[in-house]
A and B are shown apart, each in its own frame.
Chain A
Amino acid sequence: MTARGASPIPLRHRDLLPVLLVPVVALAALPLVGSFSTWVTLTLAGLAMGMIIFIIASGLTLVFGLMDVLNFGHGAFISIGAYAAALLVPALAGFLHADSLFYNLIALLALIALAMVVTGVLGYAFERVIIMPVYGQHLKQILVTVGGLIVAEQILVAIFGPVQIPLTLPTAFRGSLVFGDVAIERYRLIAVVVGLLVFAIMLLVLNRTRVGLLIRAGVENSEMVEALGYHIRRLFIGVFMAGSALAGLGGVMWGFYRELLTPAMGMDVMVLAFIVVVIGGLGSVGGCFIGALLVAVVANYTGFLAPKLALVSNILLMALILLWRSRGLYPVAKR
């Protein structure tokens, strides 16, 4: 190649303002919270929560961005992933209750793998049976995917009963690490690591592979991708399965975070996931990541400083972001 990389033309302007939002909000909250240790605890808890929301919402934003599908059924995969993992818990009890971080991690990975395989396969069936007939028809998509969510939830009720099922944390993940006055729950650190790993893998796939290139192009202009000779529908199926599997992973992480499962746990978190997707910019993985962290830390600070506002803090945050950037933090070109 020639010296194309050494072009004197300045590279594209990097839009870093959204990246600065989370640190700016966190620093602004410090004097309001008052106590440094409380602030650190709130911030880290928010980041951990944000990572789990990101895992859940990332699949949703990809499916919406590429396939233009409003998939309310995403919540079903969150619940199913968590319940699938719970089914394997008795078999892995020895590993989960061992006083060894290594065995606990092995058990967690096995639970995650099972949840992702189950939800990925179900995602394939969901796309073929429920989504495929309603491509391009948003109203019908809402109706059939909400229907799918309700049916899935009721199937879980029929199988596991309407009661809450406890999901005990592995031994090494319980308790907190204490640094001076600051206490950090161990599981939250695990959630941060898993969230960062998922984000890194998604960035790697999207930016360094041909499939990622196709997904990014498809999010912008799926018709042109087809005109270049690629079967976008096949890509749709793969992305839908990956999105469902990510929901399953999010379900396991969310279940352990709450330490209990309910059939409606997926539906409960869907509103939050949609808020994150809208804040981030429909179809933007980077925007989804920042949006998830932002929603979670703002919810934590608001819950501490003005508990009565906590219920509406997400909606207020979304309204403010959309007033600033009407198409979200990182709008994708076509939208």
Chain B
Amino acid sequence: MSEASPLLNLSGVNTHIGPYHILQGVDLQVPRGALTMLLGRNGAGKTTTLRTIMGLWHASAGAVTFDGADITAWATPDIARAGIGYVPETMGIFADLTVRENLLLAARSGPIDEARLHWIFGLFPALEKFWSLAAGVLSGGQKQMLSIARAMIEPRKLFLIDEPTKGLAPAIIANMIAAFRELKKSPDTTILVVEQNFLFAKSLGDAVAVMDNGRVVHAGTMAALADDRDLQHRLLGLHLDQHQ
């Protein structure tokens, strides 16, 4: 695939959950080597978009293309094996397994790479400290770190991360920002993050897409959105004067 083509492309994606029509024609391009923020109000369809990409809910119409392959009808494990690391909104950690076992399971191709593990420990020191502890006893922030570390334990082409700052204290969010900056340093890494925290999104995002009512209603650069308060207000209902 050419470097200019997006790594992930959603074209006219519709998703139904039971009787509900959640995604109503999503068009989304995720450029290679960039961090794209997917923003929008609650219920806009952001999480459903990530779950549809992962095959956890299948699209009823439209196409999801990843690295040139049409993955719309693929099974979730095959999508993961194609090179996508997924961090769900619920974090999805295995509470009865230790931190070590959670990471071991995510390292599909064999033993954990020591150098990469130490790199992750540098980003999230708490994981080294609680290495032998059951993941269920970790704090909310530590669980989120584990969930992200699990996606990062092996190189992936694309990371899908759903609301990494949800419910976290400001100090932990700062820790997350540092970790994402570190992750972004690799030119081969592409990240799509669903986020509600605009300040977090603004500090990290290269590109942005905004969803409303099951559609992408705006796509562009994060810098352009950050500079346009009227657009922020119109798309996200933000009055950032209160936050900045």
- Which chain B residues lie closer than 8 Å to A229 at the CB level? 77, 80-81, 108
Contact A7 B131 (CB under 8 A): yes
Chain B residues 116-146 with CB under 8 Å of chain A are 118, 121, 128-134, 136-137
Partner of A223, one of B56, B106, B131, B134: B56
Contact B75 A216 (CB under 8 A): no
Chain A residues 188-224 with CB under 8 Å of chain B are 210, 213-214, 216-217, 220-221, 223-224
Nearest A-chain residue to B127, judged by Cβ: A4
- Bound together, the chains give a CA A224 to CA B81 distance in angstroms of 13
Partner of A227, one of B56, B101, B114: B56
**Provided the pairs A11-B133, A12-B133, A332-B96 are in contact, do residues A213 and B80 lie with their beta carbons within 8 angstroms?**
no
Contact A217 B97 (CB under 8 A): yes
**Provided the pairs A216-B94, A216-B96, A217-B94 are in contact, do residues A224 and B132 lie with their beta carbons within 8 angstroms?**
no
- Which chain A residues lie closer than 8 Å to B77 at the CB level? 226, 228-232
B contacts with A, residue count (CB < 8 A) = 33
- Which chain B residues lie closer than 8 Å to A210 at the CB level? 104-105
**Provided the pairs A216-B96, A220-B95 are in contact, do residues A228 and B108 lie with their beta carbons within 8 angstroms?**
yes
Partner of A220, one of B76, B94, B131, B137: B94
Chain B min CB distance to A208 (Å): 11
Contact A227 B54 (CB under 8 A): yes
Contact B108 A213 (CB under 8 A): no
Q: Which of B101, B105, B136 gathers most chain A CB within 10 Å?
A: B105
Contact A5 B96 (CB under 8 A): no
Interface string of B183-203 (1 = CB under 8 A from A): 000000000000000000000
Contact A227 B88 (CB under 8 A): yes
Chain B min CB distance to A62 (Å): 14
- Bound together, the chains give a CA A7 to CA B121 distance in angstroms of 14
- Bound together, the chains give a CA A9 to CA B125 distance in angstroms of 14
Interface string of B215-240 (1 = CB under 8 A from A): 00000000000000000000000000
User: B68 contacts the other chain (Cβ, under 8 Å)?
Assistant: no
- Bound together, the chains give a CA A2 to CA B122 distance in angstroms of 13
User: A333 contacts the other chain (Cβ, under 8 Å)?
Assistant: yes
User: A20 contacts the other chain (Cβ, under 8 Å)?
Assistant: no
Nearest B-chain residue to A207, judged by Cβ: B101
- Bound together, the chains give a CA A161 to CA B70 distance in angstroms of 57
- Which chain B residues lie closer than 8 Å to A228 at the CB level? 77, 80, 105-106, 108, 150
Chain A residues 1-58 with CB under 8 Å of chain B are 1-2, 4-5, 7, 9, 11-12
A-B contact pairs, 30 of them (CB 8 A): A4-B100, A4-B128, A5-B131, A7-B129, A9-B129, A9-B130, A11-B132, A12-B133, A12-B134, A12-B137, A210-B104, A216-B94, A217-B94, A217-B97, A217-B101, A217-B105, A220-B96, A221-B92, A223-B76, A223-B92, A224-B88, A227-B76, A228-B77, A229-B80, A229-B81, A230-B77, A231-B77, A232-B77, A333-B94, A333-B96
Binding site for B on A (CB under 8 A): 1-2, 4-5, 7, 9, 11-12, 210, 213-214, 216-217, 220-221, 223-232, 332-333
- The 9 A-B residue pairs with the shortest CB-CB distance, nearest first, are A229-B80, A4-B131, A224-B92, A333-B95, A226-B76, A229-B81, A217-B94, A12-B134, A227-B86
Beyond known contacts A7-B131, A217-B105: 10 more, CB 8 A cutoff: A7-B130, A12-B133, A210-B105, A213-B105, A217-B94, A217-B101, A226-B77, A227-B92, A333-B95, A333-B96
